[in-house]
Structure 1
Amino acid sequence: MNTKLLMSAVAASFIALTGCASNPTNAQIGTATGAVLGGVVGNAAFGSTLGTVGGAAAGALIGNEVGKKR
């Protein structure tokens, strides 16, 4: 169990550090912002995991499109 936890932490750290390798584009920023805001709104509106995930997915799509246009 400890080995799986350690490997998960190492993988998450590697992914997080890899994301810092370059400056994000407007589309990437829009996707991340849209996913967070969509998840919050989906959770507030529906109060379930499905609402949160659906809101995050919809927000990511909308944020990506808005970010591409800038």
Structure 2
Amino acid sequence: MMMKYSTKRITAAAVAIALVVTLSACETRRGRNTAIGAGVGAVGGAVLTNGSALGTLGGAAVGGVVGHQVH
């Protein structure tokens, strides 16, 4: 039996894995905030645009900038 995976589910899993790897490499608080912001933004962008790659990347970019600015 073949399982169907939705684009949203695959994107969310990829973002979660990338976030874990990125957070493990961050040494500063600002770096962690940037990575967390990018991860949250990517998931939000993917959900809002039904898994669009452009929406996911845009959300990651905006989230990363916001996360970087948080102290």
Same fold, TM exceeding 0.5?
yes
For 2:63 and 2:47, the matched residues in 1 are separated by 14
Please report the TM-score for the alignment, with normalisation by the length of structure 2: 0.61
Structure 1 residue 41 displacement after superposition: 0.2
Aligned to 2:11: none
Identity of aligned residues (%): 40
Based on CA coordinates, which of the two structures has the bigger radius of gyration? 1
Runs of 4+ with >6 A deviation: none
Give 1:49's aligned residue.
53
What is the alpha-carbon root mean square deviation over aligned residues?
1.8
Number of aligned residues = 48
How far does residue 38 in structure 1 lie from its aligned partner after superposition? 0.3
- Whole-Å Cα distance in 1 between the matches of residues 46 and 61 of structure 2? 12
User: What is aligned with 1:28?
Assistant: 31
Pick the aligned partner of 1:39 from 30, 42, 45. Answer: 42
1:34-55 deviation per Cα after TM superposition (whole angstroms, max 9, x unaligned): 0110000000001210000000
Gaps of 5+ in 1: 1-15
In structure 1, C-alpha distance between the alignment counterparts of 2:29 and 2:39, rounded to whole Å: 15
TM-score, length of structure 1 as denominator length = 0.61
